[in-house]
Chains A and B, each alone.
Chain A
Amino acid sequence: MISSYLDDGLTIRSWLTTTDHKRIAILYAIAITAFFFVGGAAATIIRLELATPQGDLVSHDAYNKLFTAHGVIMVWLFLIPSIPSVLGNFLLPLMIGAKDLAFPRLNLASWYLYVAGGLVTLEALFLGGVDTGWTFYTPYSTMFSNTYVVLTLTGVFITGFSSILTGLNFIVTIHTLRAKAMGWFKLPLFAWGMYATSLILMLATPVLAITVLLVIAERLFQIGIFDPAFGGDPLLFQHLFWFYSHPAVYVMILPAMGVVSEIIPCFARRPIFGYRSMAYAIMTIASVGFLVWGHHMFVSGQSLTASMVFSLLSFIVAIPSAIKVFNWTATLYKGSIRFDAPMLYALGFVGLFTIGGLTGLFLASLALDVHLTDTYFVVAHFHYIMVGGAVMAYFAGLHFWWPKVTGRLYPEVWSRIAAVIVFIGFNLTFFPQFLLGIEGMPRRYHSYPPQFQVLNLFSSAGAGVLAIGYLMPLVYLAWSIRHGARAGDNPWAAKGLEWQTRSPPPTDNFDTPPTVPDTVYDYAADEPDPTPEAAR
């Protein structure tokens, strides 16, 4: 008898031809984990180089290629697909009581496109790499760089199709496949996060696609679109690029907010505070996020009026973001809080996201941004959002739903230690970079004046700690697949529909149709602690 989706076909072929959203999620998990460690290796060499002021470990050319590889891989091959394609794929149908996504075959095709795009990008890196930075600014990328720009961009272009089709699949699924009693305001906030993210994937990624095509066309045929020497305009590239790439940040952070909104109520045993405002805040961030791209271009020479409008709109994004932070905090108030590993990651997220968000306001201020543009302050800021925010939440979600995905519990002590190590390592790595940026150290150089060395050493040491923190889950999660204790259907006594089915779920997700509760996040503080001893 087939007991779960994991037993439904044991051959490699059955995995590579599966249309089961749960199996595709696992295919994604394997692929993005591989890319995560490739991108992480690049970051490790970067931090090793920056341990000393001289450029002594790698040449400046190699350094340029390393930070480009790190950016390209982490943004397009890890962060963008991380929570949506892995956790979203696995959980969305379960959370809304569906058997699968709306287009299961398209879902599998998305994975193949993602892998194809990833391999093309990797090939470019192995052939010799790219030195433009992940932003591919013109005319350097179109006319001057003698590296594998076209091949890398082709990889990005192909991966983009995977994003678009995943977003399409999620949107149609949420619209059409919800269980009957599951109204829009009974959707878990994770599903809201997926919906908002999918909208961005659908509407922003095509703009990246056309931008990439125009760069490729200019580079191959020497036609003037972005290069002023041929009658083009480099600012046009920046507008098009950031029209995608700013909303892309919200592709990373909105799903992360969704994950955290699932975990905090569960481990505080309290309903989420202000559910509707949380849903509206997600949608507001997604919409206003489309109108702030110009804050990447304050020193580009765009008009002051435009800069002022973009600055104001960027400040407005802080409002829904703050609503979310305050609501998470209010959810914790008077809760009976337990510090399990997912909760440690989730609380880490709230703190780090707050720092990342507030420093974003520094950068949205016109006068201050002139000083901080292209310094390590910017690097620190976006790593607080992308790593402190998105990656922390990915690990939080991975631990939270691991029992559902595998049917096994991970070792609790080790996981808590890893969560603390990641938090410490992260802050040690990136907080010094705020200080370096304020002191004026520019980003993207492989050597620097000696007075910056102490802070850089802290940062490099932190990167080492962070690396340990990331390697530990790889080991103990892999170990738990075979040796972890059986999890049971609902080890956290959590309330989502996904916890009503077996762990791991059957191929069709539910043996009996799930029950949609009257209110979402129906946690009560007075219920007894339900965690089995095995989870301790």
Chain B
Amino acid sequence: MSAIATVPEPRDEPDIGKLGMWTFLASEVLFFGGLFLAYLYGRTHWPQGWATASRRTDVVLGTLNTAVLLTSSAVVALAVACEEDAKRRRWTSRLLALTATLGVVFLVIKGVEWHADWHEHLFPGAKFALDVPGAQEFFALYFVMTGLHAVHMIVGIAVLVVLARGRDWARAGHLEIAALYWHFVDLVWIFFYPLLYLVERHG
């Protein structure tokens, strides 16, 4: 009646780790999903205020940052490819360091942008610059969205720095998992960029 005795065999650790990261990213999608819902709500309830506010974001710096982030994603993909090829493995650490540097560049540009926003009184509050209903809400969300994205970037940069310094970890399959995370944070920005910088820019 009872079947064959079986040895519980765990699969390879990298597989488990990768599945763990994918599951985590599913969770992250829902985390940012709440922000997208709030965005949709605001955009449909105060089209006028949101259109006015949208034009005040810095499209030049936003576009530049998008380019920086996309490049960093390409570089981290190269690092993963180099790790898989014994002849090119010595490049892995350098490419990881480059990815982290691009991440820092992104944060610096973002900081410059926030600084300018602050001085133009675009941070919600009593001195807020725009007197259109809903405009404050746009900027409230803008700061929350870009701020949370920056927090995710900082975590990613820290992980990349650790991996760039210690090769043993990278070999244990952590590199691809970290790259997955980095791509995800990049992807979130790909959605933020049009929503915050491009929509309703015209007219």
Chain B residue numbers with a CB within 8 Å of A164 are 24, 27
Chain A residue nearest to B18 (CB atoms) is A172
**A217 to B37, alpha carbons, bound, how many Å?**
17
Residues of B within 8 A of A230 (CB): 124, 136-137, 140
Please tell me the size bucket of the interface on B. Answer: 35 or more
Contacts of B2 in A (CB 8 A): 515, 517-518
The digit string for A152-179, where 1 denotes a CB below 8 A from any CB of B, is 0000000000001001110110011111
Interface of B is mostly: helix
Say yes or no for A318: interface residue by CB 8 A criterion.
no
Decide if A225 touches B125 in the complex (CB within 8 Å). no
CB of B9 closer than 8 Å to a CB of A: yes
Instruction: Write out, one digit per residue, whether chain A residues 502-525 have a CB within 8 A of any chain B CB (1) or not (0).
Output: 000000001011111110001000
Q: Which residues of B contact A202 (CB under 8 A)?
A: 23, 26-27, 30
> How far apart are B112's CB and chain A's nearest CB, in angstroms?
21
Residues of B within 8 A of A514 (CB): 5-6, 8
A213 within 8 A of partner (CB): yes
Contact, CB under 8 Å: B31 / A206: yes
Q: In whole angstroms, how far apart are the Cα atoms of A252 and B139 in the complex?
A: 37
A352 beta carbon closer than 8 Å to chain B: no
Given contacts A180-B7, A180-B8, contact A236 B38 (CB under 8 A): yes
A233 partner, pick from B1, B41, B125, B139, beta carbons under 8 A: B41
Interface digits, B142-170 against A, CB 8 Å rule (1 contact, 0 not)?
01100010000000000000000000000
Tell me how far the C-beta of A287 lies from the nearest C-beta in chain B, rounded to whole angstroms.
14
Whether A246 is near chain B, meaning CB under 8 Å from some CB there, is no
- State which of B16, B31, B140 has its C-beta within 8 Å of the C-beta of A176: B16
* One of A179, A207, A517 near B8 (C-beta < 8 A): A179
Residues of chain B lying within 8 A (CB to CB) of residue A239: 37
Could you tell me the distance in whole angstroms from the C-beta of A507 to the nearest C-beta in chain B?
15
> Which interface class (under 10, 10 to 19, 20 to 34, 35 or more) fits A?
35 or more
Q: Name the residue on A nearest B24 (C-beta).
A: A168
User: Is A222 within 8 A of B125, CB to CB?
Assistant: yes
How distant is A331 from chain B, measured CB to nearest CB, in Å?
A: 20
If A168-B27, A230-B137 touch, whether A222 touches B124 (CB-CB below 8 Å) is yes
Cβ–Cβ contact A513 & B7, under 8 A: yes
Asked if A299 is an interface residue, CB under 8 A from chain B, the answer is no
Residue pair B141, A225 in contact (C-beta under 8 Å): yes
Interface residue A37 (Cβ < 8 Å from any Cβ of B): no
Give the nearest-CB partner of A106 in chain B: B20
Contact A225 B8 (CB under 8 A): no
Identify the interface centre among A172, A217, A230: most chain B CB within 10 Å of its CB. Answer: A172
Enumerate chain B residues within 8 angstroms of A175, measured Cβ to Cβ: 19
CB distance from A99 to the nearest CB of B (A): 7
5 pairs from A and B in contact (CB 8 Å cutoff): A103-B20, A169-B20, A181-B6, A204-B30, A221-B124
Closest 6 CB pairs of A and B: A210-B34, A206-B31, A223-B140, A223-B124, A206-B30, A179-B8
